[in-house]
Amino acid sequence: MIVGTREDVIGTKGDASGNSWRSMRLLHVEDGMGVTLVDGRLEAGFDMVLWQKNHLEACYCIEGEGTVEELDTGRVHEIKAGTLYAMNDHDRHRIRAITTMRVICTFVPPLTGHEVHDADGSL
């Protein structure tokens, strides 16, 4: 059994952050679960193009408001607490936080903990 807290992740390879975001990666590939579980925080004003070339990602917003734009179609979706958005086809997307957002995300296959976003936003 794996039991842990967000506080356990602080200062470890699972504690990733950048300009206006923080990603607390609670599970990694070595945990053997087949998924990475992330508790993420996007500060108000966050605006970033992302592309999970090597992973499928599903996010569930538990706090705040923002938008996610499908870059291939231009379609924009409102995100608020209780909204799921999933990049089920490695979709390039742009996420904007209107207010500070907290999202719980999964990545399949799981992350190693050493991934960083490339210049094109890919992971």
pLDDT tens for the chain, 123 residues long, are 999 999 999 999 999 999 999 999 999 999 999 999 999 999 999 999 999 888 999 999 999 999 999 999 999 999 999 999 999 999 999 999 999 999 999 999 999 877 776 666 565
55 part of a folded domain: yes
| Token pair listed for 11 | 């200062």
| Token pair listed for 110 | 């799981």
Structure pTM?
0.91
pLDDT given for residue 121 in this prediction: 55
4 part of a folded domain: no
100 part of a folded domain: yes
pLDDT given for residue 82 in this prediction: 98
In CATH, what number is assigned to the domain containing residue 80? 2.60.120.10
- If one counts the domains in the chain, the total is 1
Task: Report the distance separating Cα 93 and Cα 5, nearest Å.
Answer: 29
Give the range of the structural domain holding residue 55, as residue numbers without chain letter: 34-108
13 part of a folded domain: no
16 and 105 Cβ atoms separated by less than 8 Å: no
Q: Classify residue 64 as left (phi > 0), alpha (psi -120 to 50) or beta.
A: left
Task: Report the distance separating Cα 51 and Cα 91, nearest Å.
Answer: 6
89 part of a folded domain: yes
